[in-house]
A = this chain, B = another copy of it.
Amino acid sequence: MSVSTTNTPTRLALDAMGGDNAPGEIVLGAIQAARAYGIGVYLVGREEVIQAELTKHDTNGLDLPIIHTDEVIEMDDHPATAVRSKKNASMTVALQLVRDGKAIGAVSAGNSGAMMAAALFTLKRIPGVERPALGGVFPTKNKPCLIIDMGANTDCKPEYLQQFALMGSVYMERIFHVNRPRVGLLANGEEETKGNQQVVQTHQLLKQNAERLQLNFIGNIEGRDIMANATDVVVCDGFVGNVVLKLSEGVGEALFSLIKDELTSSFVSKLAAAVLKPGLKRIYKRLDYAEYGGVPLLGVNGAAIISHGRSNARAIQNALRVAKETAETGVTQAITEGVARLATAKAE
């Protein structure tokens, strides 16, 4: 990643066709990001469609070049097949801009499986990285916490999890400015003997290599520790990470729904609810995934951010900010160095 030279303007690449709200909200997100962060954004997709969206807004002075491509990977396309058969899909072209040094990072809110496959295929793995992983930011009560892997790899060896720990720590340090991020291994108990075989073995690897990896490994953590801010990084396989993410969304929605029922059950509580509405909205906002914009695929050669299919303009703006920061703070470089130190340890 030696892209942002003085010769070329610093630009990001955005899949303008990806997501439930494409292209309207996606293009609007790019406009907002270009203005907020003083950055250029390649808008990749069908030119006339993107142009039509751009003319709806004031884009004066903004650097928003369109890269035309006809092909689009649909939400219900089979990821790997679609990436292979649609070589000029908008998300693939966006990633090629990163690979070719024209953009410092890529964002797509399209088919997330396809975006992962396309990123692996186009950017390739960092040498030594066993499995790239999704680092999902989980909004806890006081501050964000990163769950890695959030769903890229369902069956993981302890060696993969060890690398997830490294990648997650780098990301929280660089993007969320956490000093020596606490790295916890998700288990069913705090003692190092707790866990399934995968977790017990990972614990031993991390204990052994924490210093070399410059990790602040705090040992096993339990499900409730995630929300209690007991750790900055949660390490687990992608199967468990996906269950954790979707369950917590479900628990949150169910509780809000219960509260809503209660609040509107009588005239007096309706009045009280009106008073409390702003406060509840603030809580919603703190727990809103759009705030964090997207999930990085860590371990590939470059910044690739996967946004939620339901992303609105604000989510896209935030995802572009995350892509920019991921590139500019040298996340890829730091992971490369960390993995290299691990390889040295093995060779010794």
Residues of A participating in the B interface, judged by any CB pair closer than 8 Å: 140-141, 151, 154-155, 186-189, 195-197, 199, 222-228, 237-240, 242-259, 262-263, 265, 268-269, 271-273, 275-276, 279-280, 282-283, 286-287
Contacts and interface: CB of A to CB of B under 8 A. Distances in A.
A250 B265 contact: no
A282 to B, nearest CB: 7
13 contacts: A140-B254, A155-B197, A188-B243, A223-B245, A223-B246, A247-B251, A252-B255, A255-B283, A258-B283, A259-B279, A262-B279, A269-B275, A271-B272
A280 B273 CA distance: 12
5 tightest Cβ-Cβ pairs between the two chains A and B: A223-B246, A223-B247, A224-B250, A262-B279, A188-B242
- Copies of this chain, complex-wide, total 2
A114 to B, nearest CB: 15
Contacts of A244: 223, 243, 247
Given A239-B199, A254-B141, A275-B268, A262 B280 contact: yes
A7 to B, nearest CB: 44
Task: Output the residue of A188, A238, A242 with the most chain B CB within 10 A.
Answer: A188
Given A154-B188, A223-B247, A258 B141 contact: yes
B240 A258 contact: no
Contact of A248 (B237, B245, B247): B247
Given A227-B254, A251-B251, 11 more contacts: A155-B196, A223-B243, A223-B250, A224-B253, A240-B243, A243-B243, A259-B259, A263-B279, A272-B273, A272-B275, A272-B276
A188 B238 contact: yes
Nearest to A222: B246
A225 B242 contact: no
Given A246-B223, A247-B224, A263-B279, A239 B196 contact: yes
Contacts of A273: 272, 276
Contact of A154 (B151, B155, B195, B269): B195
Nearest to A224: B250
A75 to B, nearest CB: 14
Nearest to A189: B242
B265 A279 contact: yes
A111 to B, nearest CB: 13
